C-alpha cells in the first residue's frame, strides 16, 4: 500500500435488543404514577409499558409480573 491507497473496512454489528420496562399504578384508572398508597379493599390498576430501544425486533416476548402476597 502507498500513501494514496485506500481500503474499505466493513464492521458487522450484531443486532441487540434493549428493552425498557416501566410499570405504573393507579387507584382511579386515570392518574398513573410509579407508587401509590392504598388501603384494604381498594382497587388498584397496573399498566406495564415495554419499549424496545435496540436495533432488532423482539419476538415471542413473555412478561411475568408477580404481585406481592399482600395484594
Q: Closest by alpha carbon to 20, among 67, 60, 63?
A: 63
**Measured between alpha carbons, how far is residue 3 from residues 8, 9, 10 in Å?**
15, 17, 21
pLDDT tens, residue order, the chain (71 aa): 556 788 888 888 888 889 999 999 999 999 999 999 999 889 999 999 999 998 899 889 898 999 878 77
Q: Give pTM, 2 decimals.
A: 0.68
Amino acid at each position: 500500500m502507498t500513501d494514496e491507497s485506500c481500503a474499505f473496512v466493513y464492521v458487522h454489528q450484531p443486532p441487540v435488543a434493549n428493552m425498557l420496562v416501566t410499570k405504573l399504578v393507579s387507584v382511579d384508572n386515570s392518574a398513573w404514577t410509579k407508587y401509590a398508597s392504598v388501603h384494604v379493599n381498594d382497587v388498584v390498576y397496573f399498566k406495564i409499558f415495554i419499549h424496545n430501544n435496540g436495533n432488532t425486533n423482539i419476538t415471542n416476548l413473555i412478561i411475568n409480573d408477580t404481585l406481592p402476597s399482600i395484594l
